[in-house]
Each structure stands twice: as C-alpha cells, then as structure tokens.
A and B are shown apart, each in its own frame.
Chain A
Amino acid sequence: MKRKPFAITLDPGSSLANHTGTWRTLRPEYVDNLPPCNDACPAGENIQGWLYLAESGEYEAAWRRLTDDNPLPAVMGRVCYHPCETACNRAKLDSAVGINSVERFLGDEALRLGWKFRAPVESSGKNVLVVGAGPSGLSAAYHLARLGHRVTIREAGPLAGGMMRFGIPKYRMPRNILDAEIARILALGITLLTNARVDNKLEAMRDGSFDAAFLAVGAHVARRAYIPAGSAARVLDAVSVLKGMEGEEPAKLGRRVIVYGGGNTAVDVARTAKRLGATEAIIVYRRTREKMPAHDSEVEEALQEGILIKWLSTIRKANDRSITIEKMTLDEKGQAQPTGEVEELAADSLVLALGQDVDLSLLEGVPGLEVVDGVVKVGADMMTGHAGIFAGGDMVPAERTVTVAVGHGKQAARHIDAWLRGRRHVPASRHELATFERLNTWYYSDAPKSVAPVLDMLRRQSTFEEVVGGLDESTARYEARRCLSCGNCFECDNCYGVCPDNAIVKLGPGQRYQINLDYCKGCGLCEAECPCGAIRMVPEEI
C-alpha cells in the first residue's frame, strides 16, 4: 500500500461515485411537439422540418422534405392562403415567419436547378385510376406513384391543372411554373389522358381494369341566380370568364364591369377585368367586408389596384347599359336585409361569381354512393360509399382551396395504398401542440419579417405579369432562420450548457442529446431555458 500523507486514510476519489440522480423528483424528457404551422397546414406539410433544413442552406434536402407531402411547392408558394402563417407563434413576438415565400423560393429553386422526384423502389402491380388532373388528382397520383402503383389520370379538359389553370389568373399563377411542376409529377411514370372525360365511372374502371379509383373532378359548374335582364344585357359567369382567359380569345367584358359575389373568384374576375382594360371594375357584395369569404390579402391587393367594392348591395336587375342595385342592411342577427333603396350603376357587362357546383353525372349508377348538398360524402379514409372508389378536392365537403385539395390527394393516396394491400392506414397520432407559452423567447434574435417585392402599380393594372415576386437566396434564408422551431429541438446546446451537473450528454451534430439520469438532480433549468419548449418535466415515480 502506498504511504499516505499524515492523517489521510482514504484514497482520493472522484465525485462521480456520488450519484446525485437519486435527489430527483422531476425528470426532464425530450419531446417533439406539434408546431402550430404543421398543425394548421391543410396539406400536412412538415413546415418546421423543412425550414430547419433551409436554415442551414440545405435547400435540396428542404425541398425533398417539403415534397414528401406536397408535390407542388412553387404553385403552393404562390396561391396558398398560408394558414401556417396565421398560426405561427412568431406572430406573437414580432410577425409571422414568411413560410409561404420560403416555400416559393424552394419550389423555384427546384425548377431552376432541375431537381427530380425519386422514383419508387418497387412496383405493387396495382392500377389506380385518377379522375381529374387538378391539385387533388395530381397530388393523389404523385403519392400513389411514389408508393409503387401504376397511375392513369383522365382529365376532361385539354390541359392538366384544373382550377390552378382555369380558375386562378396568370398574375397569381404563372403558367410556365404550373406546367413545370405538373411535368415533374408526370415524369414519375404517370399516364395523363387529356380531353378524356369519364362519363361512366364503373365502365371506365372495368375497361381499364383498375383496382381502385380516386375522383377529383372539381367544381366547375357556375352557380346561377335569377336576375331579370334586358335583351341586350351582357351577363356572364365567372368560371367561363376565367376559363376563357386560357383560350384563344378572352371574354369581351367592356369598359365598365360589375362582378357579383364576394369570394376569391369574384376578386379574381374583377382584377382580370381591370387588366383587360376595364376602366371601372366594381364588385357588388351583399354583406360587409368582415363577412366576405375572399381572403383579406387578395381583397387588399384588389383595392390597391383600384377595384371598387360596393358592400351591402344586391343586384336587382341587369339593364342594357346599366344595372340596378339595392342597398342592404344588417339586422340584429347579422343577416343582410333589403332596404328598398335602389341605385343605378353604368355597366357594360355583369359577371356572376356566386359559387360553383360539382358535375356529378359520371357517378350515376354507382351503388352505395351518397351525395349531400351537391358534394360526395366520404369517410375519414376519403373512401366513398362504394368500396375502392375514393374522392377528394372540391367535390367533397371541405374548404375549397388548392392546399386542401393537395392534402386530400395525399390522404386518399395513403388510404388507397393500404386498401390495395389489404391493410388499414392509421394516421400517426398527433403530438401535443407546441404553444407560445412553452417557448423561452429571450433566446431568439430580434428580426422583422422580410417583405417580398411587389410589381409596380401601372403594370399590375395593365398586364398579367406576376404581382408578388420571390425572395432572393439570402432573404429566403433569413426568413427561414426566423423560424422558432416550436416544440422541436434545433440543437442550440442550451440544455447541454445550462445543466449545473453536466448531466446532459451531447451526442453530436444531428444526434441531439441524452440525459444522464445518474447525475440529473431534476432542477428544471434545461426545461426553463430551452428556447423552443422541446423538454418537459415529468414527476418521478416515488
């Protein structure tokens, strides 16, 4: 035995022998909570996930993560009403992260650099028919193809795109972008048949020996309202006006155009009329701005472009060179009531934008199918009452946006895939919501939102050039870095740094951390100082 100094009887030891973990009554745990953007996305994108990759400039990886859920990022980055930004926790700090503009940047970058989707590894040998090449049909086709199924799309129109092409004007959705994103989906080996309207669903299934079908025919039939009209009065519907923009010759609307309705379509038509040379484009809507179904950003842009809106007005009569409108008032229940007070507006044409219905004729004779309020009833698995026939998009009960349609396509594809393989698709349970209250916002740098460039007014009023521009690389990256990464560890090392007991083990880049419970005293500093709320304290069982 080594001789010890005077009065020393024990060998020196390390405090590592002292397992202070036994003091603990609360135990920290890493969690992945659901960021509000992901929660709000109708297409089910992992927004926080792709922003995380974009933050470090890994744009292709970010794009791949994004397109795991949505094959149309360049389209979506232009036409989505971004409920993600409405839900964004950063709005409570300064302003929401410009998710939509980063998405557009990634989409455009992918087109610029020619990134392609990876083809499926193995084929299932199953055939699926998709009816309609709108956002929902394309999304379903894309996901089904990636899951290994052979997909045929039958489209009644001359080109793919559905309402993205025939409903959304060019100044919001440039056609070269749309064409490129559709072509990239079709390059997965999907057969697209255009001008191939399906008249009888069951026959089409049998003829093509399809194992399953996804219906997404959209809502293209303009709703009409009875309005007494003079013999020379020019009354059109919004669907054909917008569709006509894709044809040889746009509809002749004249110098003074009145649009009747309050949805996005009404705004689109009024802005289109302005660009076609109308000196006056007036939207007549029977309720107030707050009640208007059109999205606020679009109404705002329309007003900027000089579109006039007559609130609380209905159209009584369409005369030859004018229309008669009646003032409305809101009763105590908030319902619009006529006042009897009328006004004459000079008008060369009247465009009705009163909503759209679904043409359901192809479903005649399909047993088990249920139609409620003009749309097809589907279950949570997107399947109609007839086994093997699924439906989505505008023809099923839901909000009618491109994003919702893309989401339907994805969901349906997953259920169709499971159904074809004789299984049931059980969606993963949703994580707990990552609320603002769980963030420690001290740690985030102050950074106001970057603003996307906007086309100058004269060109907005006279041409169909795209109104809102894209972000350049550095601005897009800046915007991505404004993400708070709510509820998901972004490896800031705070927990690793602030633990007074060195009880957090850093596993290295991309590997996150582990808690060494031998020494963790359960003080809770890691949880309190985690910027994004990715740690929670749970009581120990005693």
Chain B
Amino acid sequence: MTDQPIKFYQTGTFTVGNRLLSPEQRSVQSNMRRTNSLNSGHRACQGCGEALGARYAIDAAMEATERRLIAANATGCLEVFSTPYPETSWQIPWIHSLFGNAAAVGTGIAAALRVRGQTDVRVIAQGGDGGTTDIGFACLSGMFERNDDVLYICYDNGGYMNTGVQRSSATPPAARTSTTMPVGKGTGSAFGMGKFVPAIAMAHEIPYVATATVADLRGLEAKIRRAMEFRGARYVHILVPCPLGWGHASEQTIRIARLARETGLFPEFEAESGNVTGVTRIRRQLPVEEYLRPQHRFAHLFRDPPRADLIAQIQALADRNICRYGLLARQEAER
C-alpha cells in the first residue's frame, strides 16, 4: 500500500500531490479536472471532515467508474448540508429517501440496473454513523448477506451531529455528547458499549471491507479504487472528525484524524472475504492523550485531578487494536 517508497520524492505520497511524481502516481484530488462531486456552496461547518471525506471518496469512485455512478444517501449531516431545497451540491445522480434505508435504496438501484442489463453504472449507498450503525443497520446487514452489488460508505463522526450531538453506537467511550454528559463521577459515553461495524461487515464475509481516514488521502483513494474492482457488497468506513461535535478547532480536522491512527485508536486496514489483507501501519506512535487532549468532548478527562483511570482504559483500547491488527511497523518497514 502506501508504505513502500522506492525512490525519494521529498514528500513522497504524504502530500495530496507531488510535482516530482509521474502523473499515474498522482492522486485524484491533485487533478485539476477532478469531479468535485460535492461542490462548493454546501452548508457544512467550517473544517467539516465529512464534507472532505465525501468528496475524496466519491471523486475517487467517479474516477474508478469512468463517471458512471449513482448514489443513495441516508439522512444525516451529509444529506442536510448538501441539499437544502431546492439547491444541491451533488454533481452526480443522487437520491435521498429515509434515514434508515440507504442500503435498501442502493440495493433497489442495483437491482433495477441488473434488470436493465446496465453493468457499467455502479451504485454507492452512503450515510453517517447514525444512519449506518444504528438506524440503517438492518438494511445494511441485509444488503451484505444478499451480497448486493453496492459499495456502502459510512462517514463516521461518532454521533448524531446535525441534531445536536447525540450519542450513536459509534461514539467512542468517555466522549461527551448531549446524551452522555459526564456529570459527577460519570465517564461520558460508557465503556463496553458501541460497535465496530467494519468487523461486523467482515463477519458477513463480503468481498471487500476497508477503513480509512481523511488524514490519509492516498490510502482512502486506493481503497475506493480497490472496492470498485469487486462486484457484490462492499463496505468502506471512513473516520471523519467533526469540529462541532468533537469540540476541536476547525483547522485541526485532519490532524485529529491523523492522531486517531497514530495512537492506534482507529485501525486502518483492508479485508477481503472476511480476512485482513492489508494494514496501514503507525508511522510515529503517540500516546492516546495526544489525540484526546485537543478535543473538548474529552475535556473532562483532563480536569483537576485528571481521570488517569479512564485515559488508561482508552490507552488499553488502542493497545488492543495495535495488537489485533498489527499496527506497529517492523524495523525494516520503518526505513
């Protein structure tokens, strides 16, 4: 994947573009003719990670499918900020139906295309973590088990952000949301709850599952491209920091996503038919405090006295990920 530099190119593939690379090695986002599938003028907050992740993913999918793409969208921030009636920011065929049925609408579109014999047009269903891990979960699992020819993309910002930051089943432990206030001895969002949908998707043994963040554009684009090489149900889960809900400065969006990976809290990997086939390793490992401290949703961990016990529990979660997915680079990969 991205961690095998053969020649030295100043910034290698870390930056979006690189004038020293040959054109075929360059990212979709560096192209002057990228599709800008999610156009300017949308009403996402300043520094929105989801708007960024959606453009990264859909532009890459457009490139991979020669611009033959239809998207179904669940209710959520992405839908609300992109399509206030009668405007739309989408520059692709795009449909919104309900909060919980994006996967089912995707299935329907795929079925219609199959009936019409149109194999060149590909289908994406997408939504936030609320519409995916909670409300749309049954439709999603159904789409997986039937192996419908749809790529489902979940933009995970860890909560219901456009309705006022309520907890979802993707909200991390100890995070403060409006429904998990750390009152008294409370911890914020409870430990031992929630679910990691990429692992559940893998359990369906669908052709392709991947996780990505907005901090690693090359990895994200490679995964979307790879997903489009398969037929059948595919799932890509993208971590998209939310300046509003996470309480960090708007310019910190990418840095926070990077810290999520570098601490081990968010593992970036690929899996085919239920087996992990690739892992993006940690480049410079950091303790979880580095990730937690800039986010106001974890501010209660750093009051006087700090909640060292909770920070240690979160570190244990990171260490478990590092061990489970093999996130630390071996010596030779480090060079």
Contacts and interface: CB of A to CB of B under 8 A. Distances in A.
A481 B11 CA distance: 9
A496 B254 contact: no
Contacts of B89: 14-15
B251 A15 contact: no
B67 interface: no
B183 interface: no
Contacts of A491: 17, 19
Contacts of A17: 41, 87
Secondary structure at the A interface, as helix, strand, loop or mixed, is: loop
Interface in B44-70: 44, 46-49, 51-52, 55
Contacts of A447: 8
Interface stretch (A379-387, A456-464, A523-531): A523-531
A13 B86 contact: yes
B43 interface: yes
Contact of B40 (A12, A494, A498, A519): A519
Contacts of B47: 500, 521, 523-525
Given A445-B14, A481-B10, A13 B20 contact: no
A115 interface: no
A509 to B, nearest CB: 7
B51 A500 contact: yes
Given A23-B46, A55-B20, A56-B20, A531 B15 contact: yes
A125 B191 CA distance: 85
Interface stretch (B26-34, B147-155, B265-273, B316-324): B26-34
B167 interface: no
A524 B40 contact: no
A2 to B, nearest CB: 14
B5 interface: yes
B250 interface: yes
Interface string B1-19: 0000100111110111111
Contacts of A527: 251
B274 to A, nearest CB: 33
Given A481-B20, A490-B19, A494-B16, A55 B10 contact: yes
B252 A494 contact: no
- Residue of A446, A478, A494, A501 contacting most chain B CB atoms (<10 Å): A501
A528 B255 contact: yes
- Residue of A14, A16, A55, A499 contacting most chain B CB atoms (<10 Å): A14
B258 interface: yes
Interface residues of B, number: 49
A15 B88 contact: yes
Contacts of A500: 44, 47-49, 51-52, 55, 253
Contact of A525 (B27, B36, B217, B254): B254
B14 A444 contact: yes
Interface of A: 8, 10-20, 23, 55-56, 442-447, 478, 481-483, 485, 490-494, 496-503, 506, 508-509, 516, 518-519, 521-525, 527-529, 531
Given A16-B41, A500-B253, A528-B255, 11 more contacts: A14-B88, A493-B15, A496-B16, A501-B42, A502-B36, A502-B38, A508-B32, A521-B46, A524-B46, A525-B253, A528-B254
29 contacts: A10-B86, A12-B87, A13-B88, A15-B43, A15-B87, A445-B8, A445-B12, A478-B8, A481-B8, A481-B9, A490-B19, A492-B11, A493-B15, A493-B16, A497-B30, A497-B217, A498-B52, A500-B52, A500-B253, A502-B38, A502-B40, A519-B40, A519-B41, A522-B46, A523-B47, A523-B250, A523-B253, A524-B251, A531-B11
